[in-house]
Chain A
Amino acid sequence: MTYNESNLTTIIDAQQELIATVADATFALPLESGIRDSVIALMEDPTTSLADIARTISFDPALAVRLLNIINSAFYSLNERITDVTKALQLMGLGAAREVAEGMSLSRLFSLRKTDDPAFSARQEGLWRHSVATGAAAEVIGRKAHISNDIICFTAGFLHDIGKSAMLTLQAAEYNRILNIAKNEKVSLFVVERRVLGYDHAMLGRLLCNLWGQPDEIGVAVGRSHSVRSGAVDQPYSMLAAVTHMADIFARSLGVGWWGDRIMPRLDPAASISLGLSPDDAAELLDEIAEEYKIKMAHMVRYFPVILL
């Protein structure tokens, strides 16, 4: 099946059952004693600063985006658009923020808990590391190219492989087969996914983002992380998709984590050109991304040691 956004509806129809399964599983998964609890504990600790809480929240992009959406909603009728989580917490108050935090947590989807299957755990953790690296990369690239804001860029990068995580969790046997085919034929995972399933993890990721009420620009960026151009004339070019596409490539260049195949994705030159990145920027960006990744991981180790294996 040819992949472009105009036949997304057909695919949605064909995959209604899968989506329903994914949706059920997503909402039925027990909340981890991970990020959500840490955020809530931090909120109760009088010695922590709003900036620390905001930083912790950024690891749960769904929560961060939800908070920003709420603070920018008509309910608060602010004159300016708030893009900074710390500012949102100040304006909203921790009580209200806590209610939101208690209602949701997206990082649980990475199923960062010990299971009986060590291979599954290792893959989920590897995928999560790769996602943190891609989020860090998107943040750095977005800053460099003056695109959107840190949280939006981080979230798009962090979620770009959420479809893989869902497939790994929900279609374990079939996905193992797909992983093996990709390995033996030395091709990208999304190529095999499309052949075997009729859709790929980026498309599934986009649907999940929509389902969770993420801003559409994030869903679009996740959906186009392999092919930046939409393939449909009526779909505008997405700079955030370009950021996400390049972030994935940078994250793989760092080699942290696991992403399922052995292929470096083909860079869409439109992405580097539209973001104004020249080959001379590559080395410096890579170093900056490595630093940002280390900062994010140090933060994780500090606040969520329980969810690391």
Chain B
Amino acid sequence: MSTSAQTTNDRNLTVISIEEAAPGMALAEAVYDHNGRMLVSEGAIITTHQQRRMRSHGITHVAIYSAHPPKILPIAQSPEHMPIEDFLKQRQADPFMEALMRAARDRVARLGLLDM
């Protein structure tokens, strides 16, 4: 998250990805679709419905007002933790666990660690 969040200097706003936008946040800038039609006006409070709608119009980022720019650790894993790839090498003779560990290894290889 901290990689994609940018705080601009002029106003107290933060650009975040649409996935990070939580219902209840206030939009600092209006959002338009590709044809220039306004989808959501400036100052509107994001609802789950609007979030879905913006996503369906291919909106990837929005600007929100942010009195306290979010500050979180750049990585979700604690420094003293063993690397997740090693952790996921553990084997258990159980069909569910085999499937889960395989899925988890695939996920990490595909998407990396969750970034928050």
Contacts and interface: CB of A to CB of B under 8 A. Distances in A.
A144 to B, nearest CB: 13
Interface stretch (A83-91, A217-225, A282-290): A282-290
Contacts of A295: 22
A257 interface: yes
**Chain B: number of interface residues, binned into ranges:** 35 or more
A253 B71 contact: no
B107 A290 contact: yes
Contacts of B113: 255-256
B45 interface: yes
**Chain A: number of interface residues, binned into ranges:** 35 or more
B80 A277 contact: no
B33 interface: no
Interface string A290-307: 100111011101110110
A262 B22 contact: no
A256 B103 CA distance: 16
Contacts of A52: 23-24
A221 B88 CA distance: 25
Contact of A262 (B45, B82, B95): B82
B68 A305 contact: yes
A299 B73 CA distance: 16
Contact of B114 (A119, A126, A255, A262): A255
B56 interface: no
Given A55-B23, A254-B104, 19 more contacts: A262-B82, A264-B87, A264-B90, A267-B96, A267-B97, A272-B94, A279-B96, A282-B99, A282-B100, A282-B102, A283-B99, A294-B114, A295-B22, A298-B21, A301-B1, A301-B22, A301-B72, A302-B22, A306-B68
Interface of A: 47-49, 51-52, 55, 119, 122-123, 125-126, 129, 249-250, 252-258, 262-264, 266-267, 269, 272, 277-280, 282-283, 286-287, 290, 293-295, 297-299, 301-303, 305-306, 308-309
11 contacts: A119-B80, A123-B80, A254-B114, A255-B84, A256-B113, A279-B95, A286-B107, A298-B116, A301-B70, A306-B68, A308-B70
Sorted nearest first, the 4 A-B pairs with minimum C-beta distance are: A279-B99, A126-B78, A258-B78, A283-B103
